[in-house]
Structure 1
Amino acid sequence: MALPVLTPEQRAEALAKAAEARKARSELLSAVKSGELSIAAVLAKAETDDTVKKTKVTALLKALPGVGPVKAAELLEELSIAETRRIGGLGANQRQALIHAADA
């Protein structure tokens, strides 16, 4: 699939939108890392926020205090969640299992 040809204005707009999404995602993960937001709060926020929906579950788990790449991979394996899954793509059972695993 070929990429569409964008005008300079469209390209600048897309770059600004992408930068805004990266900043919002970074702030979200920082809030999780500092303990301001819980997994349950992030999942609730995903109902209305597209940026949260597009955040990978792996990144969310790695933002938890005491969880690194290995522990995050183990949790995903245990919960039967693909590493490439995004928060918006989680099913109801996966959401509940993720909340329960994060609290444990």
Structure 2
Amino acid sequence: MGPMKKIPGQRSPVECARALDQALEAQRARTALVRAIKNGEVDCVQALERAARDALAGDMLAKDFLLALPGVGPAQTAKLMTKLGLSDTRRLRSLAPVQRELIGAAVRS
């Protein structure tokens, strides 16, 4: 019997551990950003700018971002998402510049 062939898509235990570490790091970064937004350390515009250039912040769901904003609850989030035509699975990195501006304007008003 020859050497075992690796099945496509199958990861070694080392690769699995590395992927898990990367996922945990990404989740911690998003959690820290949400906490900073909720505490007022980062405002809406700063967070959107960061999401445009930072892959970890850009992976945050637009819905979660809006919920993190002070004074924005689930009802207002749903209303904004509908108004902007955003699905619940839309990520910040995929927002168009116009959509970012509209979110900023809606939150400021």
Alignment TM-score, normalising by the size of structure 2: 0.88
Do residues 13 (structure 1) and 38 (structure 2) align? Answer: no
Kindly report the root-mean-square deviation, in angstroms, between the aligned alpha carbons of the 2 structures. Answer: 1.2
The residue matched to 1:99 in structure 2 has which SS?
helix
User: Which residue does 2:64 correspond to in 1?
Assistant: 59
Query: Which residues of 2 match residues 1-104 of structure 1 at below 5 A?
Result: 4-104=9-109
Distance 1:46 1:84 in 2: 15
1:80 Cα shift? 1.9
For 2:65, the aligned partner's letter is: L
**TM superposition outliers: structure 1 runs of 4+ over 4 Å:** none
Distance 1:4 1:69 in 2: 38
Instruction: Answer with 1 or 2: which has the greater Rg.
Output: 2
1:48 Cα shift? 2.2
Unpaired runs of at least 5, structure 2: 1-7
For 2:40, the aligned partner's letter is: G
**% same residue:** 34
Alignment TM-score, normalising by the size of structure 1: 0.92
**Number of residue equivalences:** 102
Aligned partners of 2:52 and 2:92 also within 8 Å: no
For 1:55, the aligned partner's letter is: M
